Amino acid sequence: MSVNSSYERFFDVPIGPQHPALKEPLFLKLVVEGEHVVAADVDVSYTHRGVEKAMQERNYIQNIYLAERICGICNVAHTLCYCQNVEGLYDVEVPSRALYIRVLVEELARIHSHLLWLGVAAHEIGFDTLFMYVWRDRERVMDLIEEITGNRVTSAINTIGGVRRDIRPETFDRCLKAMDYVEERTKYYKKVCKTDPTIAARCAGVGILKPNDAVRLCAVGPTLRASNVKYDVRADDPYAVHDEVPFNVVVYDTNDAFGRILVRIDEIFESINMVRYCVKHMPTGPVRVRLRLNPPAGEHVSRVEAPRGELIHYVKSNGSEKPERYKVRTPTFENLPALCEMLTSKGNYVVNIADVPVVFASIDPCLSCTSRVAVLDSEKETVWIGRLEGLKRLKR
């Protein structure tokens, strides 16, 4: 039966880029039929900063700190990936103590990132008490990162040929104590997430991504592992000392936002055990080898399991002090096709407009990572990117 009426059946609902429900500047174009989202398109260009072009204008040492600023939360993953890449050009053996420190800091960063995400997810589903508790406990990890690296957020620990700071022996005790505290608290949060009816109502069955779709659309990280696909760069393509440090790849078969919460919580436990292992088995020796400034010509691909998923950097060197091409592909970019799939109602699966923030948060989006690359001078049709000297002049 067809109904002749004056209203349209499908509506476009624009959400973002500035929207109270979104934490990051994403533009979602949703096509809705009543309350149900039937098609989704994303625009991620609002935080485009020209990092790849800027990297071609800086030398390899300056680029460590630029790579760090691609993303504040996964800064350790970015510098690790960058340093491995440049070390791959030199073909140099990094001291094993440095590799252990890298893994230790990387796993601490993963714990704090997952706790941060758990807080944000709790906030998105309207459970602000949990959000505040989680973020309070995250501070313990942040303090530890500050003690080890000297900085709370941009840790600047990795450098080409090793790490910049050694760990003092007394830090290890505090590290273990903090891990005990975080483990106990995370066990409690897992219990809360599994028993609380609000979380189940807002997350279970929301944002479904079937395993074959996840593989087909090349999802990565916890988004993929919550769809019961066992894939983790630390296990499949081990870097640093991940072939020595034991851990389990966490998978859940719920395929939904609830599974993504549980995957991340369980990964916190795995990371805590990895930190403990690193502390106990920390080898002695130097933490850095010195290398000359210009790496030899060549190319290298480096991969790291960032908290949000697989991160890949590519470098091409021509033997000069600056890279000829530097390419960064971040996990959120890889998860965008899967996000569009999750936001599309099909058959019995319906996405309500109210679920959109939860689905979006469930991939742990980081849009500053995603849109890296340039500011434009439209009259001259040229691209400009700020440089240190320019900033210094501006400061005066």
Site of interaction with another protein (CB under 8 A)? 43-45, 48, 50, 52-53, 57, 88, 215-218, 231, 236-237, 299-301, 303, 310, 312, 314, 316, 324-325, 327, 329, 333-334, 336-338, 371-374, 376-378, 380-387, 389-390, 393-394, 396
Question: Contact 250/267 with Cβ under 8 angstroms?
Answer: yes
CB of 85 to another protein, least distance (A): 11
Q: Looking at beta carbons only, is 115 or 263 nearer to another protein?
A: 263
CB of 99 to another protein, least distance (A): 16
CB of 35 to another protein, least distance (A): 27
CB of 237 to another protein, least distance (A): 6
CA 180 – CA 203 distance, rounded (Å): 29
Amino acid letter, 42 = V
Neighbours of 4 (CB within 10 A): 4
Q: Which residues of 72-105 are buried (b: 16+ CB within 10 A; e: fewer)?
A: ebbbbbbbbbbbbbbbbbbeeebbbbbbbbbbbb
Q: Looking at beta carbons only, is 280 or 393 nearer to another protein?
A: 393
Whether a cis peptide bond, with omega within 30° of 0, leads into 17 is: yes
- What is the CB-side half-sphere exposure of residue 132 using CA atoms within 13 A? 4
CB of 143 to another protein, least distance (A): 35
- Name the nearest CA neighbour of 139 among 168, 190, 192, 181: 181
Enter the tokens of residue 395: 């400061």
CB of 327 to another protein, least distance (A): 5
CA 338 – CA 222 distance, rounded (Å): 12
CA 66 – CA 373 distance, rounded (Å): 12
Q: Looking at beta carbons only, is 135 or 231 nearer to another protein?
A: 231
Q: Looking at beta carbons only, is 173 or 236 nearer to another protein?
A: 236
Q: Looking at beta carbons only, is 187 or 216 nearer to another protein?
A: 216
Neighbours of 246 (CB within 10 A): 10
CB of 196 to another protein, least distance (A): 34
- What is the CB-side half-sphere exposure of residue 7 using CA atoms within 13 A? 5
- Name the nearest CA neighbour of 364 among 39, 14, 71: 71
Q: Looking at beta carbons only, is 202 or 313 nearer to another protein?
A: 313
Enter the tokens of residue 42: 């994303």
CB of 231 to another protein, least distance (A): 6
Question: Contact 67/55 with Cβ under 8 angstroms?
Answer: yes
- 3-state SS, 273-310, equals HHHHHHHHCCCCCCCECCCCCCCCCEEEEEEEEECCEE
SS3 category, 239: coil
CB of 325 to another protein, least distance (A): 5
Q: Looking at beta carbons only, is 175 or 367 nearer to another protein?
A: 367
Burial of 47 (0-12, 13-18, 19+ CB in 10 A): middle
CB of 388 to another protein, least distance (A): 10
Output the DSSP codes for 134-167. Answer: HHHHHHHHHHHHHHHHS-SSS---EETTEES-PP
